[in-house]
Amino acid sequence: MFDPNVIRKDFPILSKLINDKKLVYLDSGATSQKPSQVIEAESNFYQKFNANVHRGAHALGDEATQMLESARQSVARFIGGKEKEIIFVRNTTEAINLVAYSWGMDNLKSGDVVISTIMEHHGNMVPWQQVCKKTGAKLELIKIDSEGKLDQSYFKEKLKLKPKLVAFTHVSNTLGTINPVKEMTKLAHKAGALVLIDGAQAVPHMKVNVTEIECDFYVFSGHKMLGPMGIGVLWGRQEILEKMSPFITGGGMINEVFEDHATWAELPDKFEAGTPNVAGAVGLASAIEYLEKLGMENVRKHDMEIVGYTLDKLCKVRNLAVLGPKDADIRSGSVAFEYKGVHAHDVATILDSEGVAVRSGHHCTMPLHKSLGLSASIRASFNVYTTKSDIDSLVKAIGKVKQVFGK
Ligand SMILES: Cc1ncc(COP(=O)(O)O)c(C=O)c1O
């Protein structure tokens, strides 16, 4: 019963006109659109439940606290973790910084190795660069093969360096590649490393279960999975989180405070200093409910169908080179491409004039683009409301590029 044309009716923004043309939104990898259910859930919190949480002062505060904790329960159920292992943060970037600084500063020292990959979003590369610089640890990046998959033999070779941590993405936001997270986690653990997985581009499109993957940290953003901006999740294994120092300190995360020191609250509060984004968490829980109703198996099936359709159409366009694997089975969420002889920004501008919203630039993967000999590319990215007709509009608008540039 999964029909993107019916699903679209839940997304008010998709009926908007851009340049007098129907909006064709193909930038869901940057942020997804939100269904009315999510928008209403957030607004409902402010209209009926708004109070600060964890203060125990009055009934309204208790209701707000219950809503936050119920949202935590939804997230835990959705990814197969325990409630106390769900830390609410602002976004994926903050979750990775939390681990990099809290775990990294206490556990890395000169000579240690951290492994990441060339296909990482800057959000899963720059924090590791920074913490390695501060601690004297070395950052090693796994290369990709000619297809756009991580080079597994190179990975196995680098594991011989006995890294302390391996941090890699579940799905590449530029190549679309789905990495074999379970197998890589197993190998990394065998080498004695902890594993952090960046799930920003995976959680919106497929069933993720952290217990099955057996990783140590898994991070993602609400705004890419139909939820609000400003809410994200760090899932961490309880015994590891318990040993970690807090990242941000202050109110709400303490057990006791003395004039010269303080002791920390239990999980998850230890990592949630200050007033949390309760409305955001409530909106995220509503997005999860929406996705669960659609069924994540159906969401993934539709994702594969749209990726496959896009690959098929774009591979036939002259002067256009698709990045990443050509097989939709090992891809998710997006298709990026190079238009030979025309700058990515020019392509995107022409597409925009036709109402087609895509991303152009390096998509926060500068080292990956450099390794591919590119300074920029164009990315079309999808979500549950994307239709084949959206892709046809993209292809038609690309025809306009050909008209303008004669290439
Ligand atoms: C793979 C990946 N990791 C991390 C991020 C950063 O997400 P946020 O901006 O929500 O922190 C993104 C955003 O595009 C991403 O695609």
Distance between CA atoms of residues 14 and 126, nearest Å = 34
On the question of pLDDT at 276 being above 80, the answer is yes
Please name every residue paired with 235 in a beta bridge, in sequence order, or none if there are none: 86, 218
Distance between CA atoms of residues 320 and 394, nearest Å = 13
Domain assignment present for 197: yes
Record the tokens describing residue 303, joined without a space: 């994702």
CA dihedral over 131, 29, 198, 237, signed as positive or negative? positive
Which atom number of ligand 1 is nearest to the Cα of residue 172? 1
Domain assignment present for 141: yes
On the question of pLDDT at 56 being above 90, the answer is no
CA distances from 148 to 155, 322, 346, 378 (A): 14, 11, 25, 16
Does residue 307 share a domain with residue 268? no
Question: Please, are residues 226 and 38 in contact by the beta-carbon 8 Å criterion?
Answer: yes
CA of 203 relative to ligand 1 center, distance in Å: 12
On the question of pLDDT at 245 being above 90, the answer is yes
Does residue 286 share a domain with residue 301? no
Over the stretch 351-380, which tens digit does the pLDDT of each residue have? 999 999 999 999 999 999 999 999 999 999
**Angle between helical axes of 388-405 and 296-314 (0-180°, round to 10):** 20
- Residues with a CB atom less than 6 Å from ligand 1: 91-93, 121, 123-124, 169, 173, 198, 200-201, 221, 364
Domain assignment present for 81: yes
Record the tokens describing residue 304, joined without a space: 């594969």
Domain assignment present for 133: yes
Contacts of 327 by beta carbon, 8 Å cutoff, 6+ apart: none
Does residue 189 share a domain with residue 148? yes
Does residue 332 share a domain with residue 258? no
- Average pLDDT (271-296) is 98
On the question of pLDDT at 271 being above 90, the answer is yes
Does residue 209 share a domain with residue 170? yes
On the question of pLDDT at 62 being above 90, the answer is yes
CA of 123 relative to ligand 1 center, distance in Å: 6
Summary mean pLDDT of the chain: 97
Distance between CA atoms of residues 71 and 267, nearest Å = 16
Does residue 323 share a domain with residue 261? no
Question: Please, are residues 235 and 79 in contact by the beta-carbon 8 Å criterion?
Answer: yes
Distance between CA atoms of residues 16 and 23, nearest Å = 6
Ligand 1 atom 16: residue of nearest CA = 173
Record the tokens describing residue 131, joined without a space: 């913490």
Record the tokens describing residue 360, joined without a space: 């152009």
Compute how many other C-beta atoms are within 10 angstroms of the C-beta atom of residue 63: 15
Domain assignment present for 190: yes
Number of folded domains that form the chain: 2
Over the stretch 91-116, which tens digit does the pLDDT of each residue have? 999 999 999 999 999 999 999 999 99
Does residue 279 share a domain with residue 195? yes
Question: The CATH number of the domain where 335 resides is what?
Answer: 3.90.1150.10
In the prediction, which pLDDT does 145 show? 98
Whether the bond between 268 and the residue before it is cis, its omega within 30 degrees of 0, is: yes
Domain assignment present for 259: yes
Domain assignment present for 406: no
Record the tokens describing residue 76, joined without a space: 């835990």
Question: Please, are residues 98 and 240 in contact by the beta-carbon 8 Å criterion?
Answer: no
CA of 176 relative to ligand 1 center, distance in Å: 13
In the prediction, which pLDDT does 55 show? 72
In the prediction, which pLDDT does 202 show? 99
On the question of pLDDT at 18 being above 90, the answer is no
- Average pLDDT (285-306) is 98
On the question of pLDDT at 68 being above 90, the answer is yes
pLDDT: which is higher, 19 or 47: 47
Does residue 262 share a domain with residue 175? yes
Which atom number of ligand 1 is nearest to the Cα of residue 171? 1
CA of 61 relative to ligand 1 center, distance in Å: 32
Domain assignment present for 407: no
In the prediction, which pLDDT does 102 show? 98
Last residue of a domain, one of 292, 325, 346: 292
Is the pTM higher than 0.85? The answer reads: yes
Helix or strand (DSSP H, E) at 202: none
- Domain hosting 264: range is 39-292
Half-sphere exposure of 111 (CA within 13 A, CB side): 0
- Average pLDDT (389-394) is 98
On the question of pLDDT at 31 being above 80, the answer is yes
Last residue of a domain, one of 263, 292, 321: 292
Does residue 232 share a domain with residue 380? no
Compute how many other C-beta atoms are within 10 angstroms of the C-beta atom of residue 285: 24
Q: Tokens 């602002």 — which residue?
A: 90
Ligand 1 atom 13: residue of nearest CA = 30
CA of 55 relative to ligand 1 center, distance in Å: 32
**Mutation to probe ligand 1, out of 96, 150, 173 (largest number of atoms < 8 A from CB):** 173
- Please identify every residue annotated as catalytic: 364
In the prediction, which pLDDT does 42 show? 98
Record the tokens describing residue 112, joined without a space: 């240690």
In the prediction, which pLDDT does 1 show? 82
Distance between CA atoms of residues 348 and 341, nearest Å = 14
Over the stretch 190-206, which tens digit does the pLDDT of each residue have? 999 999 999 999 999 99
Last residue of a domain, one of 292, 327, 347: 292
**Mutation to probe ligand 1, out of 27, 88, 89, 92 (largest number of atoms < 8 A from CB):** 92
- Average pLDDT (270-284) is 98
What 8-state DSSP symbol labels residue 179? P
Locate the DSSP E strands across 281-393: 320-322, 334-339, 356-357, 359-361, 377-381
| CA–CA–CA angle 256, 261, 263 (5° rounding) | 40
Please name every residue paired with 140 in a beta bridge, in sequence order, or none if there are none: 115
Distance between CA atoms of residues 45 and 97, nearest Å = 29
Q: How confident is the model at residue 148 (pLDDT cuts 50, 70, 90)?
A: very high
Please name every residue paired with 117 in a beta bridge, in sequence order, or none if there are none: 142
Q: Tokens 């660069």 — which residue?
A: 129
Does residue 203 share a domain with residue 57? yes
Give the percent of the chain with pLDDT over 90: 98
Does residue 358 share a domain with residue 346? yes
In the prediction, which pLDDT does 407 show? 79
On the question of pLDDT at 28 being above 80, the answer is yes
CA distances from 369 to 122, 173, 407 (A): 12, 12, 23
Identify which of 158, 117, 124 has the alpha carbon closest to the alpha carbon of residue 141: 117
Distance between CA atoms of residues 98 and 281, nearest Å = 18
Does residue 67 share a domain with residue 17? no
**Mutation to probe ligand 1, out of 150, 172, 201, 381 (largest number of atoms < 8 A from CB):** 201
Terminal Cα-to-Cα distance of the chain (whole angstroms): 42
Question: Please, are residues 228 and 283 in contact by the beta-carbon 8 Å criterion?
Answer: yes
Which atom number of ligand 1 is nearest to the Cα of residue 92? 11
Q: How confident is the model at residue 180 (pLDDT cuts 50, 70, 90)?
A: very high
Question: Please, are residues 100 and 128 in contact by the beta-carbon 8 Å criterion?
Answer: yes
Question: The CATH number of the domain where 165 resides is what?
Answer: 3.40.640.10
